Amino acid sequence: MLLVAKEVYELEDVPVIVAGDFNDVSWSHTTHLFQRTGGLLDPRVDRINTLDTRSRLMRYPLDHVFASRHFLLVELRRLPDIGSDHFPMLMVLDYDPGASVTDEEPQPEACDEQEADEVIDEGQSNDRHEDLFTSLANRLIRLH
């Protein structure tokens, strides 16, 4: 998430939409860091819980759509269950290059860049450990 946020920040005034299942709730520290680092808005702001279709009580907003200030929210709703553990979500955004919501646009805090870099480095280190573990596991499987 933070690698994408840093790339979005580098794009400066280019219209951007980032969407997907981030396996992270919108109120988490990581999601807020993502928003501040990338300067992206969350038009749904916790209004749609997309997981879990199998439970009426335990539902979470894990699927996200973030947009740059160039987009205004037109419509937002959760669609009926389609057999997944996530509900589909419909979001209609209007591209308005003159849109000005800078008061709401997340701004990076002083320590955000350093924290984002540390989280990215830790994730890349974990990936290297997982690659090493996978390599060793594959070798062990071949030995048997």
Q: What does the pLDDT look like over 85-103, one tens digit per residue?
A: 888 888 899 998 877 655 5
Taking only the tens of pLDDT, the chain with its 144 residues reads: 778 888 888 887 889 888 888 778 778 888 888 888 888 888 766 567 767 777 777 777 777 888 888 888 888 888 898 888 888 888 899 998 877 655 566 766 677 777 777 767 776 665 555 555 555 555 555 544
pLDDT at res. 144: 40
Which tokens go with 30? 């990581």
Grouping H, G, I as helix, E, B as strand and the rest as coil, residue 83 is: coil
Cα dihedral 30, 32, 38, 43 in deg (nearest 10): 130
Cβ burial of 33 (10 Å; 0-12, 13-18, 19+) is buried
Q: What is the C-alpha to C-alpha distance for residues 117 and 2, in angstroms, rounded to an integer?
A: 8
Closest CA to 70 of 5, 13, 7: 13
Grouping H, G, I as helix, E, B as strand and the rest as coil, residue 64 is: strand
Positive/negative CA dihedral, 129, 135, 140, 144: positive
